[in-house]
Structure 1
Amino acid sequence: MSEEIGSNDPEVNSRKWWDPVLAVFNRLENWSIAIALGAMMLLPLLEIVMRQFDSGISGNSAIQQHLVLFVAMVGGVIAAREARLLSLSTFTAYLKSGYAAAAKNISSTVAVFVSASLFAGSWAYIFGEFADREGELFPGFPLWWAKLILPFGFFMLTLRLIWQSGDRWWLRLIPIVVSAGLFYFGFYEFEEVSGFVWPLLIVVLIATVLGAPIFVTLAGAALVLFWGWGGYWPEEVGPILALNLYDLVKSPMLVTLPLFTLAGYLLAQGQSSQRLIRLINALFGRVRGGPAIVTVLVCTFFTVFTGASGVTILALGGLLMPVLLAAGYGDRRSIGLLTGAGSLGVLFPPCLPLILYSVVASTSRVSISLEQIFLGGLLPGTLLLVLTIGYGILREPKKAASPDGAGLDLGVWAKELGKAAWGATGEMLLPVVALFALFSGYATPVEAAAVSAFYAMILYIVDAKVVRKVYMLKELPGVMAECGLLVGGVLLILGVAMGFTNYLVTEMIPDQLVTWATENIESPLVFLLLLNLFLIVVGCLMDIFSAIIVIVPLIVPLGAAFGIDPVHLGIIFLANLQLGYITPPIGMNLFLASYRFEKPMSMVIRAALPMLVVFVVGVLLITYWPALTTWLPGVVLGQ
């Protein structure tokens, strides 16, 4: 340390005394969420083994559910640490540095106040006048100890948001001072508070436009609306949101969400993409449209297990682009195909959006099992897959030559196929393992997710690249923290959204929408058409996880009013969001493709237009051919 003092190295001189302290906290956060995810994976596996001996783990289900709460809070803190909390707006990307810094500070100020309010509300929920601290999570461990992660998580989240609010101390003081003033304002007993509701909601909206995280938008709106309804901040309003967040973990299906996501992240961190490309290229590389088939299948596979099309484009774009260019597709055709293929996979199990839709819809007056939504997405997903492959085959250059310019040597081909198949056996068995565990009856959905995550971890550990790394145990917590970051960010949004949804239900907003729709729209076919148009816009403006959490509680009652099967409605919803990803001018995949391939947006939009037409045809078929969604669940589940 003493040698660094007075160093001419700018990197050394830029270090602060608190950097080592923050580094320790960062490692603690990474390790804690890695341990929690590891426990979530191992407990169901132990349950499977002990069940064979007519035994089990006391309180296993409750322990797993509280581990989900832990992952939600710590994952949210890590997301704030990395400045990667999901937000609705990209407005600040168009601002110059000074204006961008001001916008960041304003949005951070609102975020700090909302997070601090949730901390105070969580504290009141556990230690307040009406708190219930009875019961044990397991013998010797009081239940309220597990609930402490709520105030602790929001306290850490508040500190992280303060730190992220600016790069100067005086900038970080602004959200602290303003939040203190707003707390005084919230505690003041006004005779009539309804007049403050709309101005405060406008403040929340401005913060959202300036880049505030989605959880701030939803929690802030809920705080304002419940406060205007007659509560006191945070003595009554805060505990309501804390209770809604805590109640969320009682959903038994929610445990599957982080486990399947962990399986995808572990798969993506190894050499699986190269092995799969080699296998699929060996199978289809020499047939007509082979490079397109390779691109579509590999993109679909990775989106299934990562749950996010953006990850697929960013991670695989550099690997697959040369494959298409070598086949003569050209820049525009290659980028168009990759942009569209990047959003495939959302409808195939065990993709994260399917699980999240099942959880959210099941809290909105309908019950959709994981098996139903998984089976319902198979045929529609296959339809979009086939249509995309068909487009790729039709767009193949007529004079595309084989890579070596020679005819097919069956001996060489068989040898390469055998090597490629052997190398990718582990990856190809992962969906088989997941679906067999889920539908065989030997495991519950949570246990099936744990089996999938454990299998993916084995693949990660035995990966040839990882085996050579003596620091694998040092790297693994970082991989699991990356998974926890995504899961925690989504669960945090979902938890506060439950509070916002609670207000909408209390005010009977969904019932009013149903009344309006049934009075003004007579045909279910017209309703589905209008729903498609609305969802395409939603898909352009919101990421898929935010859209599920915010929009699903509103459309599920509408679908029920028009007699739309809830599983069919869910697949329509997700298919339209896929379409929204590539809809000009602001589809998310268009921006990601422009960034990844370093091409102007105008060129990417023109390249993606043919794929947009393909997706429109597919979505219309899915929408107006219900049997495509409902037939398979009916046959397999007898429903």
Structure 2
Amino acid sequence: MTIFPAAVLLFGFLIGIPVAFSIAIAALVFFVQSGAMPHEIFIQRMVAVTHSFPLLAVPLFVMTGVVMNFAGITRRMMDLAEAMTGHWRGGLAHVNVMLSTLMGGVSGSANADAAMQSKVLVPEMTKRGYDLGFSAAVTASSSIISVIIPPGIGLILYGFMGDVSIGKLFLAGIVPGILLCVAMMVLVAYMARGGVMPPAFDKRVSWSERGRVFRRAGLALLVPFGIVLGIRFGYFTPTEAGGMAVLFAVIVGILQGELKLAHIRPILEQTAEATAIILMVICAANAFGFYMTWERIPTTIAAWMTDLTSNPLLLLLIINLMLIVVGMFVEGSAALILLTPILVPVVTKLGIDPVHFGIVMVLNLTIAGVTPPLGTLMFTTCAITGVPIGRFVRASLPFYALLFAVLIILTYVPEISLWLPNLKLQ
């Protein structure tokens, strides 16, 4: 078994070559080095993966989020979150967390959520006297909820790479996402007791005003509910749900009078740009996956891990520690695409439900995005807000503790994730 292509991959990561190109170069090295197969197979493996129907869900859900931003739905959701929690002490921090939860059913991307809230909410929090480091920390940490609440892009990638039902993964993410939201709001409430965190409003918003705000955001809230219910009752597949979500977002934008013909071009451009980044990594990873399969690397690693321990609880701990370390150095989507085909056979061999493991793996790698040295969520938030990395890390320590505690709970209490997917409908 040759490990030279894997060494090339790690070297590419270390010297800063973009992830997709690092993976593609490493795969090409294998085909050139082997000499036993036509080099054309390298291109064939990269192109073949794009013929997948389930993978079509990625650009469709990306487009849904872009359309909703242009349709003003993001602003309406923020107004709803502020109306519900703005009167609490630390109100804007609560709004930050709740908006991430609401946006999870729209954007499905932690990076998109962190970037949006860094531009919109953090400046307002700074005006009201919130510590800038805290504002950046709560923004990056709460954005993690977006990948768990359906239709998270990470869940789609995991389901595709691991041959796991994406519909079940969507259902499995609902309760953990709500749990993470509640836990983070409790932490914010506790921290607000000793800090300068004034409420957004001097008094509680009236229920009539809340009803008005809810009606303005109500149509948008139907998107995640429609996706989940449609998949749960078998009306459409996750890919078809993506198409329905785009159509519904366009209709809502037109009815609300905010979506214009002039928006078509920027919507398509932003969708193509975001999708290209994801699919380039997937295509390169598929070629690299051919190398790993040819050299029996997944089989070897699976045998090594099962020889190390046959206890599923201990194995989950080992995998979690490994994922945390990997996620600190490799972008979450790339790590997910590379490691899912290796780890899913290992956990299923020991009787661990792959749906439950998917929630754990996606959450783990996303948490790593807020940790140094190379967390993408950390860099995204710090770059937009201007917060130094050291200050961000110090402010994030309570959130790190909370996130890892929730990760441990979800790892060892699989019923939290599996309750909805296994719920029997009468």
TM-score by length of 2: 0.90
Question: Tell me, which stretches of 5 or more residues in structure 2 are unaligned?
Answer: none
Flag the structure with larger Rg: 1
User: What is the 5 A alignment of 1:397-412?
Assistant: 397=193, 405=202, 407-408=203-204
Distance 2:383 2:401 in 1: 23
Deviation at 1:596, TM superposition (A): 1.6
Structure 1's unaligned 5+ residue stretches are 1-193, 363-367
Deviation at 1:466, TM superposition (A): 4.2
Preserved contact between residue 201 and residue 221 of structure 1 (Cα < 8 Å): yes
Structure 1 residues 225 and 621: CA distance shift in structure 2, 3 A:
same
| Secondary structure class of the residue paired with 1:563 | coil
Q: How many residues align?
A: 425
Do the aligned residues in 1 keep the contact of 2:136 with 2:387 (CA within 8 Å)? Answer: no
Q: 1:226 aligns with which of 21, 31, 36?
A: 31
Kept in 2: contact 1:259–1:450 (CA 8 A): yes
Identity of aligned pairs, percent? 28
Between 1:617-626 and 1:444-453, the stretch displaced more is 444-453
Residue deviations 1:206-234 (CA, integer Å, cap 9, x gap): 555444333332222222223333336xx
Q: CA deviation at 1:535?
A: 0.8
Does 2:190 correspond to 1:390?
Answer: no
Give 1:499 shift: 2.1
Offset of 1:325 from its aligned partner? 4.6
5 Å-filtered alignment, 1:152-301, equals 198=4, 206-231=11-36, 236-238=38-40, 240-287=41-88, 289-301=90-102
Alignment of 1:12-411 (within 5 A): 198=4, 206-231=11-36, 236-238=38-40, 240-287=41-88, 289-325=90-126, 329-362=130-163, 368-397=164-193, 405=202, 407-408=203-204
Question: CA separation in 1, counterparts of 2:102 and 2:201?
Answer: 28
SS class of match (1:350): coil
Query: Residue deviations 1:459-494, cap 9 Å, x none?
Result: 334454445xxxx33x31222121122212222221
Question: Structure 1 residues 636, 321: CA separation in 2 closer, same or farther (over 3 Å shift)?
Answer: farther
Residue 564 of structure 1 aligns to a residue whose secondary structure is coil
Contact 1:336 1:610 survives alignment (8 Å): no
Q: 1:438 aligns with which of 219, 228, 231?
A: 231
Distance of 2:201 and 2:365 partners within structure 1? 40
Provide the rounded CA distance (Å) in 1 between the counterparts of 2:7 and 2:295.
20
Give the structure, 1 or 2, with the largest relative contact order (CA under 8 Å, sep 6 or more): 2
| Secondary structure in structure 1 of the residue aligned to 2:113 | helix
Alpha-carbon RMSD across the aligned residues, in angstroms, is 2.7
Partner of 1:18: none
- State the one-letter code of the partner of 1:377: G
Q: 3-state SS of the aligned residue for 1:633?
A: coil
Match of 1:455 in 2: 248
Contact 2:9 2:22 in 1 (8 A): yes
Conserved in 2, the CA contact under 8 Å of 1:437 and 1:451?
Answer: no
TM-superposed deviation, 1:637: 7.3
Q: Which residue matches 1:478? A: 266
Write the distance in 1 (CA, Å) between the matches of 2:425 and 2:347: 22
**Kindly tell me: are residues 225 and 341 of structure 1, through their superposed partners in 2, closer, same or farther at Cα, counting changes over 3 Å?**
same
Measure, in 2, the Cα distance between the counterparts of 1:202 and 1:262.
36
CA separation of 1:544 and 1:304: change in aligned 2, threshold 3 A: farther
State the distance in 1 between where 2:240 and 2:329 align. 35
CA contact (8 A) 1:329 1:396 kept: no
- CA distance in 2 between partners of 1:491 and 1:404 (Å): 43
Q: Does the 8 A contact of 1:278 with 1:420 survive in 2? A: yes
Note the C-alpha offset of 1:266: 1.1
The secondary structure found in structure 1 opposite 2:35 is coil
Once the two structures are TM-superposed, the CA of residue 375 in structure 1 deviates from its matched residue by 1.3
